[in-house]
Amino acid sequence: MAWAKIFVLSIGALLSGAFLIGPVAAAAPRSEIRFAISPLFPPYESRNAQGQLVGLNIELGNALCAQLDVRCIWVDQVFTHSIAALESRRFDAIMGMASTPQRRQLIDFTDDLYPLTTHLVARRYSGLMPTVRALKGKRVGVLTGSNREAFALAQWAPAGVIIKSFWLNDQLIRSLVAGDIDATLQGTAEIRQELLDTEQGQPFDFVGPPVTGQQMGTAVAIGVRKSDRELRSDLNRALEQLKQSGEHQRILRGYLQEELDIAAAQPGDGPRFYPSELTLPFSEAVRVGDTLYISSISGLDIRGNPVKGGTGAQMKQVMKNLHDLLERHHSSLDRVVKCTLMLADLDDLALVNEVYLGYFARSRLPARSVLAVRRLPRSARVALDCVALIEEYHEPQALAPGN
């Protein structure tokens, strides 16, 4: 009986201790957010003459922290190592990073902070255009580790364009002015402030239409660890509240007036066109409302040739290309509603179906048509075009300011 009493008392003590320890062990409310920045890129993030942090990303970060009632801590970080440093928990988030499909495989991103527009910049009347034909043998400057470097190395370098990488933007611009490189890939706001609106920049201008591509991304967001879903949700909620109050637009207009004016001139509910390679006479996709219409995708390699291995290998490449394109346009395979499959040989249909069904859930198979065609471009064996819905982020109404 004595042993029984001791056992009961021990269990009671453990339970009492658990109730006492529980509140202490619970996660404390967030009091700060540590943002990584590389303060060498005005007008996004830099230091003024007094050493104070200034720029679009700094203002947006401070506004988000104020909305969440937490303290912003800014951590200087070499941009090229920022994802590795995020994973090692040197900070909580990366402020202002292009959300490309390659980076989304490693980390998560918040909703878009602002659009990303890239141009080729060269001397006026140079005759250069952002095409591999015009740039073959030319030297194009990019920033090391940037999305523009990834694009140029993947799309242009294999075709004979000489890609020169620089650690700092001012080094790149000095090389352009000195004639050591022929052109550079740059964002509209950054190159205007650093070169085009200066006296030494008068011989230079944007040449050709904006440059787009899989490795480029279309917008800037905040990078967070995949495990930090709560932080991502908090930042998205705060961003939506800034948009509702008009503060987000006010901050953007101080830095991206030209881009916003161009966007405002477009009909809000009209189609949005996303060009493919500039040598091709069609867009890779067109968005109308929340619907994305995708041009035919073939199983081509980086040089535009069908991948080796026959129809099955080409179909795998088709599906990979479709997956990447959907991610680039904020959609996914489970948002595809209709596809048209084109085959050079209907006898390949069973093989193609086997690959195709490996990418779609059986409960969410898109509607589909199959066409037998005499010939496909570049002697491809299979091609696919699709229609998909865009994923949009919507906060519950209860989270809107004033509710």
Same domain, 281 and 340: yes
CATH classification at residue 338: 3.30.1330.40
Same domain, 125 and 50: no
Backbone angles phi, psi at 5, to 5 degrees: -65, -40
**Domain annotation covers residue 399:** no
Same domain, 282 and 385: yes
What's the alpha-carbon Rg for the chain, to the nearest Å?
Answer: 26
pLDDT in tens, the chain (403 residues): 444 433 333 434 433 444 444 444 455 788 999 999 999 989 999 999 999 999 999 999 999 999 999 999 999 999 999 999 999 999 999 999 999 888 999 999 999 999 888 889 999 888 888 888 889 999 999 999 999 999 999 889 998 999 999 998 899 999 999 999 999 999 888 898 899 999 999 999 998 778 877 788 878 999 999 999 999 999 999 999 999 999 999 999 988 876 666 555 555 556 877 766 545 788 888 888 889 999 999 998 767 789 999 999 999 999 998 988 887 677 889 999 999 999 999 999 999 999 999 999 999 999 999 999 999 998 999 999 999 998 643 333 333 333 3
Structure tokens at 111: 């909703």
**Domain annotation covers residue 21:** no
Q: Which residue range(s) make up the domain with 76?
A: 32-115+219-265
Same domain, 277 and 375: yes
Alpha carbon distances (Å) from 337 to 363, 365, 366, 371: 12, 8, 5, 18
Q: Write the DSSP assignment of 320-338 as a string of letters.
A: HHHHHHHHHTT--GGGEEE
- H/E run at residue 61: helix 56-68
**Domain annotation covers residue 394:** no
Same domain, 302 and 383: yes
- Location of structure tokens 């202490």: 24
Same domain, 385 and 277: yes
Same domain, 102 and 227: yes
Same domain, 381 and 283: yes
Same domain, 280 and 368: yes
